[in-house]
Structure 1
C-alpha cells in the first residue's frame, strides 16, 4: 500500500511541477501558482484519502451489513471458510465477511488495507445463486482487495481532483483577465472569475469522472480474471450470466457501488460514466481468455 501511495504522490508531484513551469511560461504569477498547487493537493487528496480510511465503517453503516463474528448457520460458515481459503490463495490477510439485506444479487469489497478489508454479500445473492456462482463472486471481490483497487481508485481520484482545482482556477484567471481587459492584479478578482471557476470545475470534473470510470472498468476485467483464477473460469462465467439475467437496480450506496459485482447498465454517453463494463462484454472477455485457470 505504501509503495503505491508513494508512486502516486511522486507522479502527481512531478506533473504538478511541470504544470507550474508551463503556467509560469504563460505568465501566471509563480507565487500564486505555488500556493494554488499546495491548496489543490490538500483538497484534492484530503477528501479521497479520508474516505478511503473510513471506507469500511461508512460501508457497514450505509448498508446495515452484519459482520460474521461467529457463524450462526451453514451458509455463514461456508462464506467465512470460502473467503478464508481464497484470501490465503491470493496472499492477503483474512477480510471481515458480512451480509447485508438487499433484494438484488450483489456483493462488494472495501477497505484501506489489503490485509484488513471487508467483503460483503447481499441476501439476494445468497437466495439466487448456487454455491459455485457465489464462490466466483467472492473470488472477484477478494481479487479487488488483492489488487489494491480501493487504494488505487482513491489515489487516482485525488490526482484528478487536484488537476480539476488547478486547471479551473488557472484557466478561469486567464478567461477573466481577457474579459476584464487584463486589469491589474491589485484590483483583485471580479465576481465573474468565481462564476467562471465554478463552471470550469463542473466541466473539468465531468472529464475527470470519465477518466476515473474508464480506469474502474479496466479494473473490473482484472477482478473477473482473478475470480476465475480463484474459483474457476466456468463458475465466474456462470455467476456473470446469472447477474445478466437479473434486472434489479443496485441499492448499494455511492461510496461502495464501484466495488460491487453488478453494474454496467446504460446506453450512449451514459456508458462513459459507468464504473462497470456491460456484463455481456465481461462474459465475452472471460470466454475469450485462454490464460485463466479453469
Structure 2
C-alpha cells in the first residue's frame, strides 16, 4: 500500500507543478498551446519533466518503498565488511561510494538507483545476503555498481522522457483528428471536454504500451552491459555463478520503475531483463 501511495503522490505532484506551468506561466511568456509547436512543448515539459522529477526522487522513493536501512555508517561488523567490499568495487569502477542499503525480503535481488553517479543508491535484499556466497554477492554488487558507472539511470530516464513526450503528443493529435471528424461545417459539435479527455487517456494507454516495448528493449541491452561490467570487476565466472543462483529464487517483488534496475526482473512480453540463460550465455 505504501508503494501505491508513493507512486500516486509523485505523479500527482508532477501533474500539479506542470499543470500550473502550462496554464499560467506559458501564457505569460506568450507561448500558445493551440498550435502544434505549443502542443509539442507542453508534451515535452510533461514527458521529460515528469521523468526527471521521478529520477530526482528515485532514492527517496526507493528507501521508503522497500523500508530498507542505509548501512554506510553502521558499527556492525558484517555491515562494515559489506561497505568495504562495495567501496572497493566503486573505486575500481571509478565512481564515488554510493549509499548502501539492505532491505528485508526473501526475494534474492538487488537494485541501483539515484539521479547521478555522484548521488547513487545500491540496495540488496536480506534474502540475497543469506542465500548467496560472498563471491556471488560481490558479483551482484559489481553488477549494480556497473549500472551506476554506466549512467543507466539517467539514460533510461532520457529514453522514457522522449517516449512519454511522443505518446502524449500523438495521442492529442489523433484526438484532434477525431474531434474534427464530429464537427459540422460551421465547426460546431465535436467530442466535448469529457469525451475528449477519455479518448486522450485511452490513446495514451495504447501508445504507451508500444513505447514501453522500446524502453524495455533498451533496458535489456543495459543489463548485458552491466553483466559485462561486473565480469570486468570480479570475473565472468563469479557473475555466471550469481546468475545461476538466481534461477532458483522466487519471482522479483520489486515494483514500478525499480523492476528495471533489479538484478533480475519479471520476464514476458514486456521484459525489462533478458532471460538468465541468455545472460549466462552472453558472459560465456
Query: Which residue of 251, 254, 262 corresponds with 1:252?
Result: 254
- Could you say which residue in structure 2 is the equivalent of 1:87? 90
TM-score, length-scaled by structure 2: 0.83
Q: Answer whether contact 2:71 2:101 (CA < 8 A) is retained.
A: yes
TM-score, length-scaled by structure 1: 0.80
Deviations 1:134-170 (A, max 9, x none): 0000000000000101111111111111001100111
Superposition misfits of 4+ residues, deviation over 4 angstroms: 186-189
Name stretches of at least 5 consecutive residues in structure 1 with no aligned partner. 1-28, 266-270, 288-294
Q: Does 1:151 align with 2:192?
A: no
Equivalenced residue count is 252
Shift of 1:36: 0.5
In structure 2, distance between residues paired with 1:263 and 1:89: 26
- Could you say which residue in structure 2 is the equivalent of 1:45? 48
Query: Which residue of 264, 271, 276 corresponds with 2:273?
Result: 276
1:134–1:33 Cα change, 3 Å: same
Shift of 1:89: 1.1
Query: Which residue of 63, 66, 81 corresponds with 1:63?
Result: 66
Q: Answer whether contact 1:213 1:272 (CA < 8 A) is retained.
A: no
Shift of 1:256: 1.5
In structure 1, distance between residues paired with 2:121 and 2:192: 48
Query: Which residue of 98, 111, 116 corresponds with 2:114?
Result: 111
- Could you say which residue in structure 1 is the equivalent of 2:130? 127
- Could you say which residue in structure 1 is the equivalent of 2:263? 261
Equivalent residues in 2 for 1:202-221 (5 A)? Answer: 202-221=205-224
In structure 1, distance between residues paired with 2:230 and 2:35: 49
Deviations 1:82-108 (A, max 9, x none): 111111111111101111100111111
- Could you say which residue in structure 2 is the equivalent of 1:98? 101
Name stretches of at least 5 consecutive residues in structure 2 with no aligned partner. 1-31
Q: Does 1:140 align with 2:143?
A: yes
Deviations 1:28-52 (A, max 9, x none): x995112201210111112211110
Residue 84 of structure 2 aligns to a residue in which SS? helix
Residue 120 of structure 1 aligns to a residue in which SS? strand
- Could you say which residue in structure 1 is the equivalent of 2:37? 34
Q: Does 1:178 align with 2:181?
A: yes
In structure 1, distance between residues paired with 2:172 and 2:111: 37
In structure 2, distance between residues paired with 1:32 and 1:259: 38
Q: Answer whether contact 1:264 1:277 (CA < 8 A) is retained.
A: no
1:182–1:275 Cα change, 3 Å: farther
1:181–1:66 Cα change, 3 Å: same
Shift of 1:183: 5.6
Residue 135 of structure 1 aligns to a residue in which SS? helix
Q: Does 1:286 align with 2:277?
A: no
